[in-house]
Amino acid sequence: MPVSTSKYRYVDCDPDLCIGCQICEYVCSYTKTGEYNTYRSRIRTVRVDEVLITAIACRTCENAPCVIACPQNALEQDLDTGIIHIDNQKCDACAWCIEACDFGAISINPATKLAEICDQCEDLEEGPQCVLWCPKEALSLTTPDQRAQKSRRELVKEEVVGPKK
Amino acid sequence: MFGYYGKILHIDLTECKHWVEEKPEDWYKTWIGGVSMASRLCWENIKPGCDPYSPENPVCIANGIFAGTPVPVGGKYGLASKSPLTNFIGDSLSGSWFSVALKRTGWDGIVIHGASDEWVNVFIDDDRVEFRDAAKLLGLDTFETEEAIREELADDQVRSATIGPSGEHMVRYANVTNDGRQAGRTGHGAVWGSKKLKAVSVRGTQGIKVADPDTLNKLSFDITKEAQGPHTSKYRILGTTTNVLNMNKLGLLPTRNYQEGVFEDAEKVSGEFLHEHHKIKTIACAQCPIACEQMSIAKKGPFTGAMTGIEYECLFANGPNLGINDMNAIIRLIEVADRSGMDAITMGLTISWAMETFEKGIFKREDFKSEKHPDGLDVRFGNGEAAVAVAEMIRDREGIGEILSEGTRMASLIIDDQRNTETWKWTMQAKGLETAGYDGRGLKTFALGSAVGVRGPCHNRTAAYDPDIQGEVDRFKVDDRRGELAKDTEEYAAVYDTLPLCKFIRRCFTGKADRAGAWPTIAQLVNATTGWNFQYEDIDLIGERAHTIKKAFNIREGWKRADDDLPYRWKHDPMTKGPSAGYVVTDEELEYMKDLYYQAKGWTQDGMIPKQKLHELGMPDVAEAIGV
Amino acid sequence: MTLDLQKGADIGDVVNALGKAFPQLLGEIIEKDGKSLIPTNIFSVNGEKIIHESDLQYQPDEGDRLILLSLLSGG
């Protein structure tokens, strides 16, 4: 089971805060394609039974399985950031990367026949647009360590002060 | 064209065929979307005078101009047919992912004609139309139906508008449900049931383009952030259930079939109580940054585990209105309505009518016999278990459910005829549609708005409780301003219902929700989407046009001035307790206010619309058909 | 809840005193300057008369109960 390495950041969603509005999906697809289309979003919300809601984007796994699985060596993981980059010349949409990803975070665009994945809007100064737009601040660009720290702090506050209202 | 595709999809269920109707840009500039476009499509495609359950009554879906863009709360669509409850226009709004998916298909609207021989699930897959056999979906509730279709088609992005068992059984006030939201009132579910239309599913893969995405994104971003502040805090934390205690304090909380306006156990059925003891999570529709839907669960007693979203309207109708003080029973009642797909307001007011009829000795235990309850039921006010049993009988059209499923107007006609009684005197309806959670006896401008309402006494369409409740006028009296005020509020509401935009966002543009505070930003949003050059006046016109096409539809279906009326109780039975006790709306007051209102609208004394007015509003064909 | 006010106080004075006693209401129910209620929050006198947001000069009578309502439409 792949595990995120401690120095790689990824876009994480807090299911307690996520309301399932999907604004992240509109904004991501617009940023990447100039059109609003949830099919083209690199972050996807999931809703189960009305109340279990969260959003999923690339988790920047260490030794990313998608990279290992690609028969064309079309995927490369940046060793500093963990971000996956796709070589459009080499990708042939075979979808082995989709098979390899446990999170459903990589997808194939049927029009371009290329794989697509969250790149944290690394080319934009403000960083990930979804994080910027999320109305409930449920999304954050975080490392696993930071995420764990946040959970511990919230737990302690809850234990000492009482549950959030 | 940006914002629209210029194409309406027509589907014929009788012959299993479909065709495309192209519409020019001017048509969209006039009708925009939502209830206006849906009502206009209904005007264009219905056979006037037809039975609402006949194949000639079309199902008209009109998408929203902002659906699928980041414009907050713009993910909505309108649905219109001739209503089987009122025989006038039944225009409804629903929202969430169905409208977003529809936007991606390339269709601005859908008109469904005819009726199917077999139960059908119409599937619109971009530009392909499939008539899928819905036999396996029968009997599934609204949520289950959606899930089953998604599984069948193996795609999470397929969204469906469905009817549940209530619609299948043609309960006259059955609704259409999608994504946990409802096109709730006027009986759409029954119309779909008459066509054996179990569901309409859409999948769209096209990207949505707008004229000026930079401006649209910037405006949307700002409004999204504004929507986290004090202008929406009530909606976010308590949702609309905040109104239970508000209305109770003003003596306007409908209690025991509107016999009174104060409920002794209001605290136990308040939004605050719900929030404290039953709420699980607040969730949002698609494209909404506010999130007002209070998902709540029943925790004790025989209905433990019942879960659904709770709004003020369903709460009052199935709580204080039934004399029920147990939130668990109320949640279960609303769940029955939501899952089986029927209007929770009408259901509650039909049960409250039945309860009063029982307490007056006209209905007896035995009248409520069913398979589960062979000894009948004690249908007294406050009996939550009996109320749930009756709701289920309505859903299944079992026993007396057969009559109760027709709504209060028809049910009382049947009973009064059979038993020589006058139960019609305590039906809380006008034009055949049941009233909402505000008592007209203590809100006289609202009473006017209710009486003249084109789909019936709908609080959402009239919004005329605003001047009464904000203290702009004396809520217990009438004066010569009321006509103008009722016209203003209904046309203001109509703008939001047409774009559509959820009204909860109205303070987030500039802080002020009046026309001056909202129209300029709305115009900017429209222009950034379409590339048009709409100004303040153009936004204003949207509201007047939307209302007028609905009114014209009614006139063509036989509306007369006398149809603008109020429930007998509001005119003859004053409340005896609380701050609004002692008041009724007299015939004199009502006719006076109607005169003022028709005048303000520019209509004749009979409420007919002059040809010239219709020409001015850009609807010459309507002028020809019904103008005077 | 009781507030102590001078004789002849009007609604404006009530709002002021309320804001001082409960500063957490500022920005939520009462405007930040403490002078008036944020729109859709209104006072009702004994549940009957409703005081419009602009009517800050209204003077309640002796024995009147002022009910603060946070209004909401729709649902």
Q: What is the CATH number of the domain that holds B316?
A: 1.10.569.10
A150-163 residue pLDDT tens: 889 989 988 887 76
Q: What's the pLDDT at B351?
A: 98
Q: Which of C38, C52, C70 sits opposite B471 (nearest CB)?
A: C52
Q: B249 contacts in C (CB within 8 Å)? A: 44, 47, 67, 69
Q: What's the pLDDT at B17?
A: 97
Q: B285 contacts in A (CB within 8 Å)? A: 21
Please give the average per-residue pLDDT across C24-53, as a whole number.
Answer: 88
B575-594 residue pLDDT tens: 999 999 999 999 999 999 99
Other Cβ atoms within 10 Å of B609 Cβ, number = 23
Q: Do A23 and B289 touch (CB under 8 A)?
A: yes
Whether B221 is in a domain gets the answer no
Say whether both B413 and B444 belong to one domain: no
Q: Which one has a higher pLDDT value, A5 or C20?
A: C20
Name the residue among B344, B288, B264 with its Cα closest to residue B312: B344
Please give the average per-residue pLDDT across A81-92, as a whole number.
Answer: 96
Say whether both B334 and B401 belong to one domain: yes
Whether B435 is in a domain gets the answer no
Give residue limits of the domains in chain C. Answer: 11-70
- Which B positions 145-164 lie with beta carbon below 8 A of chain A? 156-157
Tokens of B55: 């194949």
Question: Can you give the residue range of the structural domain that contains B494?
Answer: 440-566+586-626
B154-211 residue pLDDT tens: 998 899 999 999 999 999 999 999 999 999 999 999 999 999 999 999 999 999 999 9
Say whether both B380 and B458 belong to one domain: no
Q: Do C71 and B513 touch (CB under 8 A)?
A: no
CA-only gyration radius of chain A, Å:
17
Amino acid letter, B353: W
Please give the average per-residue pLDDT across B33-49, as a whole number.
Answer: 98
Domain of residue B499, CATH code: 1.10.599.10
- Give the 3-state secondary structure of residue B46: coil
Q: Kindly provide the ipTM of the predicted complex, given to two decimals.
A: 0.90
Decide if pLDDT at B66 tops 70.
yes
B324-364 residue pLDDT tens: 999 999 999 999 999 999 999 999 999 999 999 999 999 99
B240-270 residue pLDDT tens: 898 999 999 999 999 999 999 999 999 999 9
Q: Do C47 and B460 touch (CB under 8 A)?
A: no
Say whether both B51 and B163 belong to one domain: yes
Chain C neighbours, 3+ Cβ pairs < 8 A: B
Q: Is B213 on the interface with A (CB under 8 A)?
A: yes
Q: A22 contacts in B (CB within 8 Å)? A: 97, 100, 286-287
Q: Which one has a higher pLDDT value, B236 or B182?
A: B182
Please give the average per-residue pLDDT across B547-565, as a whole number.
Answer: 98
Name the residue among B72, B103, B287, B204 with its Cα closest to residue A20: B287
Say whether both B81 and B55 belong to one domain: yes
Which residues, at least 6 apart from B553, have a Cβ–Cβ distance to it below 8 Å?
B39, B42, B43, B88, B89, B454
CATH number of this structure's domain A10-62+102-161, picked from the four choices 1.25.40, 3.30.70, 2.30.130, 3.40.50 = 3.30.70
Minimum mean pLDDT range among B266-280, B423-437, B441-455, C33-47: C33-47
pTM across the whole model = 0.94
Which residues, at least 6 apart from B618, have a Cβ–Cβ distance to it below 8 Å?
B30, B545
CB contacts < 8 A (B, C): 78
Whether B209 is in a domain gets the answer no
Q: Is B233 on the interface with C (CB under 8 A)?
A: yes
Whether B232 is in a domain gets the answer yes
Q: What's the pLDDT at A5?
A: 52
B77-109 residue pLDDT tens: 999 999 999 999 999 999 999 999 999 999 999
Decide if pLDDT at A77 tops 80.
yes
Tokens of B206: 């096209």
Q: What's the pLDDT at A164?
A: 59
H helices then E strands: how many in chain B? Answer: 26, 17
- Name the minimum distance, in Å, from the CA of A12 to any CA of chain B: 18
Whether B214 is in a domain gets the answer no
- Name the minimum distance, in Å, from the CA of A44 to any CA of chain B: 11
Q: What's the pLDDT at C74?
A: 58
CA distance B332 to B384: 9
Q: Is B211 on the interface with A (CB under 8 A)?
A: no
Q: What's the pLDDT at A2?
A: 43
Q: Chain B residue with minimal CA distance to C42?
A: B470
Other Cβ atoms within 10 Å of A103 Cβ, number = 14
A119-140 residue pLDDT tens: 999 999 999 999 999 999 999 9
H helices then E strands: how many in chain C? Answer: 1, 3
Q: Which residues pair with A72 in a beta bridge?
A: none
Say whether both B89 and B190 belong to one domain: yes
Residues in chain C, overall count: 75
Say whether both B419 and B461 belong to one domain: no
Q: Chain A residue with minimal CA distance to B66?
A: A36
Amino acid letter, B460: N
Q: B269 contacts in C (CB within 8 Å)? A: none
Q: Which residues pair with B161 in a beta bridge?
A: B200
CA distance B451 to B456: 7
Decide if pLDDT at A64 tops 80.
yes
- Which A positions 102-121 lie with beta carbon below 8 A of chain B? 110
Chain A neighbours, 3+ Cβ pairs < 8 A: B
- pLDDT above 90 covers a percentage of chain A that reads 76
Q: C46 contacts in B (CB within 8 Å)? A: 579
Mean pLDDT taken over chain A: 91
Q: Is A34 on the interface with B (CB under 8 A)?
A: yes
Domain count within chain B: 3
Q: Is B205 on the interface with A (CB under 8 A)?
A: yes
CA distance B99 to A38: 13
Last residue of a domain, one of B430, B459, B488: B430
- Which B positions 161-190 lie with beta carbon below 8 A of chain A? 180
Q: What's the pLDDT at B239?
A: 86
Tokens of B433: 């549609």
Say whether both B282 and B425 belong to one domain: yes
CA distance B77 to B70: 16
Say whether both B555 and B417 belong to one domain: no
